């Protein structure tokens, strides 16, 4: 069988299994809007035409897709299954159309994460990703909290226990949290010799914007030192700001090792003392339900894990 014959056979097979794309589009509109009338208005056709297409689908499938109630309609269990697949497929097709029309490369990957993860983990490693995947265009979507999985996102980076029901979680790496400061600050202040010594120094704190995100208070508690009344020289709502404050010599911040690695490697920040806490939570890459872990996604996982990139 020639290639053209195989393509023709496959096309006929699809037409046999999916006899009408028009019917599927009109079904999707009815299901999304819960109304034959509103669907007809959106599509610019008559309500009778929409009803006919939905009836055609039901007859083809041999099952009802909607419960016709008094002044309302509701998807049957079979209708809901079909709608879930059709809606996801149409959204992805529409996204591809938009990208082509706007001249956006097809191999654009949308990655959602916190601003801190983007600034401190992704951007310092971006050159290595471009070398290994020159055709890839990365679209970063940053959030204050853990990002939700949505149809517009290909992968999400989250910090937590890895147990989420909206996607497949792939473990990236765990964490270690310890005090850091700039060389300038340490040169003009006495180095702490015990955990208690930190209480008398310039501490920079950041708010616990993520579940499990550690503040100075929770850090002390993990070390068995309960400090209900902390004294800070500066408090920030953003972890990025607390890191920037430490870089500028304003005091001691908590350093999350997987985020500040480049700054430690360059010597812009210095670890103070042996004291550290290892949280139970970790970082995960989450692939939304309905999508597969492609070779590109696996490459992204390996790139995010690679600690040797910054050593070159």
Find the helix or strand (DSSP H, E) in which 265 lies.
Answer: helix 257-266
* 34 assigned to some structural domain: yes
Alpha helix stretches (DSSP H) within 18-138: 21-33, 36-43, 47-61, 77-101, 115-117, 126-132
Whole-prediction pTM value?
A: 0.65
Supply the pLDDT for residue 210: 63
Are residues 193 and 70 part of one domain?
A: no
CA distance 116 to 98: 29
Are residues 185 and 162 part of one domain?
A: no
Are residues 186 and 248 part of one domain?
A: yes
Task: List the CATH number of the domain containing 131.
Answer: 3.40.190.10
* 252 assigned to some structural domain: yes
Please identify, among 101, 130, 157, the residue that sits at the C-terminal boundary of a domain.
Answer: 101
* 276 assigned to some structural domain: no
Q: Domain range spanning residue 259?
A: 177-271
Are residues 183 and 157 part of one domain?
A: no
* 218 assigned to some structural domain: yes
Task: List the CATH number of the domain containing 44.
Answer: 1.10.10.10
Cβ 153 vs Cβ 112: under 8 Å = yes
Cβ 24 vs Cβ 86: under 8 Å = yes
* 183 assigned to some structural domain: yes
Ranges of the chain with pLDDT below 70: 1-17, 95-96, 98-99, 102-107, 144-151, 209-212, 226-229, 311-312
CB-side neighbour CA atoms (13 Å) of 87: 15
Spatial CB neighbours of 192, under 8 Å, sequence gap ≥ 6 = 179, 198, 201, 272, 273
Are residues 143 and 88 part of one domain?
A: no
Closest CA to 203 of 184, 216, 190, 220: 216
Are residues 196 and 254 part of one domain?
A: yes
Q: Which pairs with CB-CB distance under 8 Å and at least 24 residues apart come from 73-77?
A: 73/30, 73/34, 73/35, 73/36, 74/34, 75/31
CA distance 311 to 31: 54
- With 0-12 / 13-18 / 19 or more C-beta atoms within 10 angstroms meaning exposed / middle / buried, residue 134 is exposed
Angle between helices 21-33 and 47-61 (to 10 degrees): 110
Spatial CB neighbours of 26, under 8 Å, sequence gap ≥ 6 = 39, 43, 45, 49, 50, 53, 54
Are residues 29 and 44 part of one domain?
A: yes
* 262 assigned to some structural domain: yes
Q: How many domains is the chain partitioned into structurally?
A: 3
Are residues 153 and 288 part of one domain?
A: yes
């Amino acid at each position: 069988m020639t290639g053209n014959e195989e393509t023709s056979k496959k096309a006929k097979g699809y037409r046999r299994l999916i006899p009408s794309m028009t019917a599927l589009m009109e079904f999707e509109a009815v299901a999304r809007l819960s109304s034959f009338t509103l669907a007809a208005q959106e599509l610019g056709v008559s309500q009778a035409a929409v009803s006919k297409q939905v009836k055609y689908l039901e007859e083809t499938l041999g099952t009802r897709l909607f419960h016709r109630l008094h002044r309302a309609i509701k998807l049957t269990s079979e209708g809901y299954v079909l709608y879930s697949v059709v809606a996801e497929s149409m959204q992805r097709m529409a996204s591809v159309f938009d990208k082509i029309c706007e001249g956006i490369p097809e191999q654009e990957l949308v990655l959602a994460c916190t601003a801190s993860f983007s600034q401190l983990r992704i951007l310092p490693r971006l050159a290595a990703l471009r070398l290994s995947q020159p055709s890839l265009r990365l679209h970063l979507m940053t959030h204050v909290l853990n990002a939700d999985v949505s149809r517009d996102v290909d992968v999400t980076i989250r910090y937590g226990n890895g147990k989420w029901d909206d996607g497949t979680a792939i473990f990236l790496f765990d964490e270690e949290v310890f005090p850091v400061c700039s060389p300038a600050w340490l040169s003009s202040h006495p180095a702490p010799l015990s955990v208690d010594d930190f209480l008398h120094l310039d501490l920079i704190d950041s708010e616990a914007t993520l579940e499990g995100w550690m503040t100075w208070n929770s850090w002390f508690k993990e070390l068995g030192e309960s400090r209900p009344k902390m004294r800070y020289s500066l408090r920030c709502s953003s972890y990025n700001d607390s890191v920037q404050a430490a870089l500028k010599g304003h005091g001691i911040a908590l350093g999350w090792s997987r985020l500040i690695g480049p700054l430690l490697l360059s010597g812009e920040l210095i670890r103070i003392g042996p004291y550290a806490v290892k949280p139970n939570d970790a970082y995960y890459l989450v692939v939304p339900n309905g999508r597969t872990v492609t070779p590109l996604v696996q490459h992204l996982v390996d790139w995010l894990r690679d600690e040797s990139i910054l050593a070159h």
